[in-house]
């Protein structure tokens, strides 16, 4: 085992109990960064960490849980147990209880299937819906706003969160006079373990009956202020207070490419995509928004093939945006074939090109405030109905979790990829200038 207790006397007393019981402690760590470094060298070990360990956090516990065989958090009083629970620790040992048996409790943890360590435990409560898509997927924010409004009109309590760390725009789109960033304030409360119903109410704005909004970053450069652990707490609290939580995410997860092993200092070197990744991992439903053209098809195939494993436990659907009426039959047929090849269980929705979406942005209003009843509103309403049905039936995905195909080269055979009339087979992508 690897231990990180922090207090030398408590550590010595525990080792005196563990050694006669056959518990072998191979390494002692004095703080969280050292613990992360050791576990990076010996992944798959068992870890005992104190709730009072210096620089320990929920983010680090999440990383450890995914990388090692088991993590047990030991607490010596009620305050430390509260800290461990705020980290969502799965195993908490109370060393001050009269019935405390260190050896037997550790051995029980050893017997747990390691494959279950990194699995997210579903919680009762609100249905988390992530609106995500590859780079260039225009209309993602418009869809998220429309979906949240449609759910609210169906009588359920809905929170819309702007968690886009690249181009946050919900406040601007809805004309919200934003003095402070709702998500930054919520993150500060979360990191202080003070995100309760009262503080949460300070971070959201009422848009309509059953419809609340948590505004995003007031400046995209402030993205390091929202860390993974804080974002997870925001999502968990939102589940408790709302029936549905719709989250608008930044496009792409490119910063995840090339990562392997363990992040040795997540709190010192945060990544911009960590918020997107955290939300996708904790969502029950993920809508992948893409554009209705060849570029959108190619980027959808690449993004889904590379990153669908991040949200493997969620129900997944593709939203093809801005479908023109003249091309609708062809787009439906060919995107249907693409999605069928990616994942046979992948649902697909088509949003028609509608001027009301432009009017919505220009007038800083929702589709409902425009009092429009066009095809776009009906299509988004169908998506809302599917979300309601999923929550009512307690559908949490699983039937299409692990089926991810990489077939980008096949996309070129669809007629949506038309050859330009001026392109020749030998041009190799080079354009020809004509005087």
d(CA 293, CA 124): 39
Pair 331, 385: CB distance under 8 Å = no
Number of separate domains in the chain: 2
d(CA 298, CA 410): 10
Output the domain CATH number for residue 97: 3.40.50.2300
d(CA 29, CA 353): 58
* 430 belongs to a structural domain: no
- Taking residue 5's Cβ as centre, other Cβ atoms within 10 Å add up to 23
Q: How confident is the model at residue 287 (pLDDT cuts 50, 70, 90)?
A: very high
Strands 211-214 and 205-208: antiparallel
Residues 360 and 331 in one domain: yes
Output the domain CATH number for residue 401: 3.40.50.300
Q: pLDDT by residue (tens digit) across 308-320?
A: 888 888 899 999 9
Residue 36 in this model has a pLDDT that exceeds 90:
no
* 416 belongs to a structural domain: no
Domain that holds residue 53: 2-116
Provide, rounded to the nearest whole percent, the portion of the chain with pLDDT above 70.
Answer: 83
Residues 15 and 155 in one domain: no
The reply to whether the predicted model has a pTM over 0.75 is: no
Pair 83, 233: CB distance under 8 Å = no
Residues 134 and 83 in one domain: no
Residues 77 and 165 in one domain: no
Half-sphere exposure of 381 toward its Cβ, with a 13 Å CA cutoff?
Answer: 12
Mean pLDDT of 51-72: 84
Residues 95 and 176 in one domain: no
Q: pLDDT by residue (tens digit) across 167-209?
A: 898 998 888 877 789 999 999 998 888 888 888 988 999 888 8
d(CA 225, CA 209): 30
* 429 belongs to a structural domain: no
Q: What's the pLDDT at 426?
A: 44
Residues 46 and 193 in one domain: no
Residues 78 and 196 in one domain: no
Residues 181 and 100 in one domain: no
Residues 14 and 92 in one domain: yes
Residue 148 in this model has a pLDDT that exceeds 90:
yes
């Amino acid at each position: 085992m690897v231990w990180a207790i922090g207090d030398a006397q408590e550590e010595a007393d525990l080792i005196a109990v563990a050694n006669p019981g056959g518990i072998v402690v191979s390494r002692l760590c004095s703080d969280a960064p050292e613990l992360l470094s050791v576990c990076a060298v010996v992944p798959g070990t068992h870890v005992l960490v104190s709730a009072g360990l210096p620089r320990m956090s929920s983010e680090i516990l999440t990383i450890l849980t995914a990388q090692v065989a088991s993590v047990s958090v030991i607490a010596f009083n009620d305050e430390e147990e509260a800290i461990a629970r705020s980290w969502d620790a799965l195993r908490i040992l109370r060393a001050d209880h009269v019935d405390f048996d260190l050896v037997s409790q550790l051995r029980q943890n050893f017997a747990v299937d390691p494959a279950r360590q990194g699995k997210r435990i579903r919680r009762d409560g609100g249905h988390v819906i992530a609106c995500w898509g590859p780079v260039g997927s225009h209309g993602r924010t418009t869809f998220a706003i429309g979906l949240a409004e449609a759910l609210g009109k169906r009588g359920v309590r809905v929170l819309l969160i702007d968690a886009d760390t690249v181009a946050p725009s919900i406040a601007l789109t809805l004309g919200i006079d934003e003095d402070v960033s709702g998500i930054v304030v919520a993150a500060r409360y979360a990191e202080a373990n003070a995100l309760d119903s009262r503080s949460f109410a300070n971070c959201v704005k009422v848009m309509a009956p059953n419809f609340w909004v948590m505004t995003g970053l007031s400046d995209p450069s402030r993205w390091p202020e929202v860390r993974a652990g804080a974002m997870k707490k925001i999502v968990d609290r939102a589940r408790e207070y709302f029936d549905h939580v719709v989250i608008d995410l930044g496009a792409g997860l490119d910063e995840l490419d090339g990562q392997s092993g363990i992040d040795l200092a997540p709190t010192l070197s945060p990544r911009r995509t960590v918020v997107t990744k955290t939300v996708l991992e904790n969502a029950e439903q993920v809508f992948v928004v893409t554009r209705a053209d060849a570029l959108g098809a190619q980027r959808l195939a690449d993004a889904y093939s590379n990153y669908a494993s991040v949200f493997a436990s969620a129900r997944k659907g593709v939203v093809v945006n801005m479908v023109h009426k003249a091309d609708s039959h062809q787009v439906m047929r060919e995107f249907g074939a693409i999605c069928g090849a990616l994942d046979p269980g992948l649902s697909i929705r088509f949003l028609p090109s509608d001027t009301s979406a432009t009017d919505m942005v220009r007038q800083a209003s929702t589709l409902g405030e425009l009092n429009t009843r066009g095809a776009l509103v009906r299509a988004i309403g169908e998506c809302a109905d599917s979300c309601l049905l999923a929550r009512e039936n307690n559908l949490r995905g699983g039937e299409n979790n692990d089926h991810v195909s990489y077939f980008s080269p096949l996309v070129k055979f669809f007629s949506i990829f038309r050859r330009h009339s001026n392109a020749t087979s030998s041009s190799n992508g080079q354009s020809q200038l004509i005087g």
